[in-house]
């Protein structure tokens, strides 16, 4: 469990760093700070919302169900991003 949480944290931070770098490169200098601030707020709200949702799912069902639902969500998001990028 500790190894999984460490890897989760490393993946989260690596993704956040990469996304922030791409966002800063894509934004104009006039809108860069506002765009980055908006993105940070949305990311942290999504993280907080996911944590709250996870509590209710794990409490109502099992931790395994929570993991399966998260896996389905991740694969769906990956398919959406891949399809959109290729179009």
Residue 75 pLDDT: 93
> In the prediction, which pLDDT does 87 show?
61
Q: How many domains, the chain?
A: 1
Neighbours of 27 (CB within 10 A): 15
The residues, ordered by sequence, that sit 6+ positions from 19 with a Cβ below 8 Å of its Cβ are 39
Distance CA 87, CA 84 (A): 5
Query: What is the domain range of residue 26?
Result: 2-86
Let me know: does 73 contact 57? Beta carbons within 8 Å.
no
Query: Residue holding tokens 């980055």?
Result: 36
Q: 10 Å Cβ neighbour count for 43? A: 15
**60-74, pLDDT tens digit by residue?**
888 888 888 889 988
R_g (Cα) of the chain, nearest Å:
16
User: How large is the average pLDDT for residues 18-25?
Assistant: 85
């Amino acid at each position: 469990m500790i190894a999984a949480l460490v890897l989760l944290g490393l993946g989260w931070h690596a993704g956040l760093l990469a996304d922030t770098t791409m966002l800063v490169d894509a934004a104009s200098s006039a809108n860069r700070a506002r765009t980055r601030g908006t993105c940070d707020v949305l990311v942290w709200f999504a993280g907080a919302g996911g944590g709250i949702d996870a509590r209710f799912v794990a409490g109502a069902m099992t931790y395994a169900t929570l993991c399966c639902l998260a896996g389905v969500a991740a694969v769906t998001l990956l398919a959406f991003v891949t399809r959109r990028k290729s179009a």
